[in-house]
Structures are given as C-alpha cells and as structure tokens.
Chain A
C-alpha cells in the first residue's frame, strides 16, 4: 500500500513515525493550533514497522531542542525532518535526553517543584521502558506518570 501523500512543503518540519494515538499529543506540544503556519496532520497512516502511524507537517517552522525532547517522550521513535526548498536537509532521530530540564511535571505532590518556585529537573534512568527520576524528590516515574509542562 502506498503512503498517503500530503502536500509537500517548501520550508518547515515534518515529524514522522508518531504512534497513531499520539499524533494529537505532538500537535499539542508544538502549540500549532493557534499559529498562522500551515499545518497538515495525518494519522492512522499505514506503516510497515508500526502498522499505524501519525505524521505532522508544519510550514515555516523549525523546532527547538526542548520541543524535540518533548516529542521524544510521547513518540520515542519519531523522526524529525527539516525541509528547505522542498528537500529534506536534515533528519533528526529523537532521543530521550539524559536530563529533562523544565519539560515534565513531577507526579509527587509533596515535591518541592510542586510547592515552591523551582523548575523541574529529571534524569532519565532508562529509555525503554521510559523511566525518569526527579532531581529533587528522587521519585521515579514511568511513562504512565509523565505529564508534560
């Protein structure tokens, strides 16, 4: 089966290989529902490896490291393609960063980051399955506890 084509973009970013149920999570992370950039969203696309996948294209927009790190948390196998002049100029394989600086919330209500003006900081201890440890309260969180800031 041939992959569904969405309009090619001149400049911007294509995020591919998103787990199909995380497509809109990625849209949320990028906060692209209220910008003027052209955004194409496709989900439930056929993928040999993933069976069903999602894909997001954003015109005239390049991602910050923080955004890429956030995507890694919800779509650990995603690829981020940078498009310039209709060509893929760079392909970034997302990675769970060793240190997550102010990206996710600590699930421990008694943690200092939930009680004082302290930005969150996590150390990832395993990437699959995802495990992170709060730098402050030392609580370990798995994928199910991860809540993006």
Chain B
C-alpha cells in the first residue's frame, strides 16, 4: 500500500490511520536519517505572505536530507506583485522544482494550487483556513511527551475564534477521544461549526473564560496568541490582548505532568519565566517541526518504502 496523498492541504483529508502513519515515519526520522535521501530534489517555498519560522523549518528539513531549496518570501519583489495569477506562478514554478510549499493569504488557495499542479503541494497556511503541518507537529509533540495520543485532557487558551491551529488540532484529536477545555473571552469563542463537529464525534468539551477553574484537570495547556491583525477595531484588541498570561508562578500551582504548548510566535500570553521549566515544551515543539517536515517531504517525493499493510 502506498501513501495515497499527492499533497498535504488540510487535516480533514487524513484518517486516523494516515495521521498515525505520518507520526510513525517521523519517529524514524528522529532516530536516524539518510542525509542524501533527497539529493537531486528541489523544494520551492512560495510564501505569498511572510512566515520566517515556517519557511526556515521546511528549508532546514529539505537541507538535512540533501535537497536544495529555492523560493521567495517577499512577494513584493516578484512578478506576483505585478499581478501574476496564482495559477501562472504555480505553472511556472512546477517546472523549476519537484515539490512546492506555499503560504497564501487567501482561504482555499492551496487546494486550488494543488488541483492545478502536477507536483506535490504542501500547504503552509492558507489564510485563516488550514496549516496542516503545524497540526502534525503538534500531534507528534504530544505523542512524544505522553507516549500516547488517546484520552488526554487538553485546554486551548486564547483566540479560539480565528486560531486555525486550534481548530485543526481539535479536529485531529477528536480521532483520539481527547477531552477538550476551550478557554477564551466570549468574543473569541470556538466557531459553532467546529463545536458541532465535535458533537458529531461525541467528544466531551467545556467552554469558559476562566483558566484557573480548569487548569488542574489538564494534561496539555495549548496557549495561543491573540492576533492583532484579526481585529478591525484596535480598541477591541487592546481590551483582549492581555486577558491570559501564564508565568512560572502559575505553572507551579498546576498538575505535575502538565505540558505547555504554543505554536509561536508568542506575545505576552506566555511569560519567558516559564521557559526553563520542565512543563514548557514549546521550543521542542518547534524543533519537532523539522523532523515531521522531513518525513512529509520524503513521503510525498516517494522516498519512503511503504511498510503499511
């Protein structure tokens, strides 16, 4: 059996088995990898919207496996700024490379690009919609820290309305019977659509605005940044931006095994005093991104012998 997907566009496209398979391959890459595996292959990183961290993570993954990287992260300096359509950019770049990683400000851009392109496309963020490799690295980090994915208690904190990482991770964890606690100001609650899906999957969850009420029940505290760019009204942003703030003292009063995750970058919701504690795993989480992306690049470029039965 072969890894079926040509592309990585949305976490919705993956079954529980697909997810576990990707995590399994990632684990193998963490132990050991062939630094010439992708020798002779070129990755194009097309960042129509800048995201230095994500782009560097993919570049690092490709380079570690001996591949080359081309691309842009400043569309102002390319023909995209001269009004070239997404379709044309993809059609040109697929002649220059073997696989494309793209980030685009428009929702659905990656799906559209993948339908056009003959080579694999990895979605590194399409507007507020999806960022599936973030979800995969989150799952990998959870599995690595807890030795399992099943039956964990996870608290999502911050901007749950616009935070696509939260929507995708909640969706993915619903395959593993997680219990979820959604903590946000009332203006930034989880969208109805996502909650209805959890209902459908018979996932238990609670909603509220007070983190201290549930903190002791959690295995994972998943913090998110309240994103300034999502607010049309700056006064509204000012009101909400400091509403959650985790520091070392807060963590000292939580359950021993608790792990704190964050997709980064952070603003002031996660104080640097947490950094050295054994509860903080967000830097490790970022590092895991390279491992998972190595696995994904190799899978899509058909460099993994499929041992799935």
B-contacting residues of A (Cβ < 8 Å)?
Answer: 108, 110-113, 115-118, 134-140
Q: Which residues of A contact B127 (CB under 8 A)?
A: 110, 137
Q: Which residues of A contact B10 (CB under 8 A)?
A: 138
CA distance A34 to B130 in the complex (A): 44
Question: In whole Å, how far is A110's beta carbon from the nearest beta carbon of chain B?
Answer: 5
Q: Are B193 and A137 in contact (CB under 8 A)?
A: no
Q: Which residues of A contact B93 (CB under 8 A)?
A: none
CA distance A111 to B127 in the complex (A): 9
Q: Are A112 and B108 in contact (CB under 8 A)?
A: yes
Q: Are A116 and B85 in contact (CB under 8 A)?
A: yes
Q: Are B193 and A112 in contact (CB under 8 A)?
A: no
Q: Which of B100-142 contact A (CB under 8 A)?
A: 105-109, 111-112, 126-130
Q: Are A137 and B86 in contact (CB under 8 A)?
A: no
Question: In whole Å, how far is B187's beta carbon from the nearest beta carbon of chain A?
Answer: 19
Question: In whole Å, how far is A112's beta carbon from the nearest beta carbon of chain B?
Answer: 4
Q: Which residues of B contact A135 (CB under 8 A)?
A: 108, 111
Q: Does B12 reach chain A (CB closer than 8 Å)? A: yes
Question: In whole Å, how far is B50's beta carbon from the nearest beta carbon of chain A?
Answer: 18
Q: Are A110 and B130 in contact (CB under 8 A)?
A: no
Q: Which residues of A contact B85 (CB under 8 A)?
A: 116-117
Given contacts A110-B128, A137-B129, contact A116 B86 (CB under 8 A): yes
CB pairs A–B below 8 angstroms (30 shown): A108-B107, A110-B107, A110-B127, A111-B106, A111-B107, A111-B108, A112-B106, A112-B108, A112-B109, A112-B112, A113-B108, A115-B106, A116-B86, A116-B87, A134-B108, A135-B108, A136-B108, A136-B111, A137-B107, A137-B126, A137-B127, A137-B129, A138-B10, A138-B12, A138-B107, A138-B108, A138-B129, A138-B130, A139-B107, A140-B193
Q: Which residue of A lies closest to B113 (CB)?
A: A112
Q: Are B112 and A118 in contact (CB under 8 A)?
A: yes
A-contacting residues of B (Cβ < 8 Å)?
Answer: 10, 12, 85-87, 105-109, 111-112, 126-130, 193
Question: In whole Å, how far is A53's beta carbon from the nearest beta carbon of chain B?
Answer: 31
CA distance A110 to B85 in the complex (A): 16
CA distance A116 to B107 in the complex (A): 11
Q: Which residue of A lies closest to B130 (CB)?
A: A138
CA distance A118 to B109 in the complex (A): 10
Question: In whole Å, how far is B83's beta carbon from the nearest beta carbon of chain A?
Answer: 12
Question: In whole Å, how far is B174's beta carbon from the nearest beta carbon of chain A?
Answer: 15
Q: Which residues of A contact B108 (CB under 8 A)?
A: 111-113, 118, 134-138
Question: In whole Å, how far is A85's beta carbon from the nearest beta carbon of chain B?
Answer: 46
**Residue among B86, B105, B109, B126 with most chain A CB within 10 A:** B109
Question: In whole Å, how far is B196's beta carbon from the nearest beta carbon of chain A?
Answer: 8
Question: In whole Å, how far is B61's beta carbon from the nearest beta carbon of chain A?
Answer: 26
Question: In whole Å, how far is B51's beta carbon from the nearest beta carbon of chain A?
Answer: 17
CA distance A110 to B12 in the complex (A): 20
Q: Which residues of B contact A110 (CB under 8 A)?
A: 105-107, 127-128
Question: In whole Å, how far is A107's beta carbon from the nearest beta carbon of chain B?
Answer: 12
Q: Which residues of A contact B87 (CB under 8 A)?
A: 116
Question: In whole Å, how far is A142's beta carbon from the nearest beta carbon of chain B?
Answer: 9
Q: Are A116 and B106 in contact (CB under 8 A)?
A: yes
CA distance A47 to B146 in the complex (A): 61
CA distance A116 to B80 in the complex (A): 14
**Residue among B87, B108, B111, B193 with most chain A CB within 10 A:** B108
Q: Which residue of A lies closest to B164 (CB)?
A: A138
Give me 14 other A-B pairs in contact (C-beta within 8 A), A137-B127, A139-B193 excluded.
A108-B107, A113-B108, A115-B106, A116-B87, A116-B109, A116-B112, A117-B85, A134-B108, A136-B112, A137-B107, A137-B108, A137-B126, A138-B12, A138-B129
Q: Which residue of A lies closest to B194 (CB)?
A: A140
CA distance A43 to B111 in the complex (A): 43
Q: Which residues of A contact B128 (CB under 8 A)?
A: 110
Q: Which residues of A contact B111 (CB under 8 A)?
A: 112, 135-136
Q: Which residues of A contact B12 (CB under 8 A)?
A: 138
Shortest Cβ-Cβ A-B pairs, 5 listed = A136-B108, A137-B107, A112-B108, A137-B108, A140-B193
Question: In whole Å, how far is A128's beta carbon from the nearest beta carbon of chain B?
Answer: 15
Q: Which residues of B contact A138 (CB under 8 A)?
A: 10, 12, 107-108, 129-130
Q: Which residues of A contact B112 (CB under 8 A)?
A: 112, 116, 118, 136
